């Protein structure tokens, strides 16, 4: 009976681990890298089967370095995946006030209407301190008017992104990392690439407003959702941000 219980626990544990590995591979775009590792594994098995001892020894020597290379290449994705796993625990306390979200949505809609480019990152569970330090520290209360003024063309803080933590604008004119997905981002502008890059490096939710068309997009978990209207933007925020209060529609 004890053996059956132990076997059941092992099967469930392995299934959960396998599930999260698949989720990580899909979100990180690591399928090609996984195929490469699989091909090396097949080559190693063939070398052992065909008694190619020198080749097998070389594979054995370099496998630890390949694992290290995988960790280095996908360090930001691994960091985001671990934070996402921990987000479901009781230790996760990230939350935003309803007022903050309303101010952000209001500013986003106004910037979109005026076709003024903007880049706003909402911090979740992974700290954005590295990118906060790249900009100009503000520590200001979040307001629609302040966000709009930051992105006004010709302003000193116009270029770069704004980072919001809690109810404070931590910094403006921040430099975000560009996306590493070259093929899927070849047609995107600089702001969209920066938004997607930060969404790949952290669990932040990044709002980007196009300067050319005024369209609103959101980068989250390494993916870019484009052409959002007010209802779609609010729905996305409600789904992925912890609220201290229930959000009410803007027209109320």
pLDDT of residue 19: 62
- What is the CATH code of the structural domain delimited by 98-240? 3.40.1700.10
How far CA 176 is from CA of 95, 102, 130, 147, 154, in Å, comes to 22, 24, 9, 18, 20
For the stretch 89-138, pLDDT in tens is 444 444 567 889 999 999 999 999 999 999 999 998 888 888 999 999 99
Residues of the chain with pLDDT under 50: 88-94, 245-252
Residues 102, 244: Cα–Cα separation, whole Å: 13
pLDDT of residue 3: 76
Residues of the chain with CATH 3.40.1700.10: 98-240
């Amino acid at each position: 009976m004890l053996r059956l219980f132990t076997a059941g626990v092992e099967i469930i544990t392995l299934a959960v681990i396998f599930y999260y590995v698949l989720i990580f591979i899909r979100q990180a775009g690591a399928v090609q890298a996984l195929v490469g590792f699989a091909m090396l594994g097949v080559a190693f098995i063939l070398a052992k089967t065909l008694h190619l001892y020198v080749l097998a020894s070389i594979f054995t020597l370099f496998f630890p370095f390949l694992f290290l290379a995988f960790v280095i290449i996908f360090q930001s994705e691994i960091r985001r995946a671990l934070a996402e796993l921990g987000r479901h625990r009781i230790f996760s306390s990230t939350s935003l006030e309803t007022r903050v979200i309303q101010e952000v949505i209001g500013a986003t809609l106004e910037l979109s209407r005026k076709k003024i480019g903007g880049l706003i990152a909402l911090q979740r569970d992974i700290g954005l301190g590295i990118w906060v330090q790249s900009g100009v520290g503000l520590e200001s209360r979040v307001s629609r008017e302040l966000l709009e003024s930051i992105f006004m063309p010709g302003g000193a803080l116009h270029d770069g992104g704004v980072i919001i933590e809690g109810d404070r604008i931590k910094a403006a004119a921040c430099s975000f990392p560009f996306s590493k997905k070259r093929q899927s981002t070849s047609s995107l502008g600089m702001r969209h690439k920066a938004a997607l890059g930060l969404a790949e490096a952290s669990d932040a939710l990044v709002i980007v407003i196009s300067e050319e068309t005024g369209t609103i997009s959101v980068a989250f978990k390494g993916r870019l959702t484009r052409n959002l209207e007010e209802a779609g933007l609010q729905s996305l925020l409600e789904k992925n941000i912890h609220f201290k209060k229930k959000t009410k529609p803007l027209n109320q």
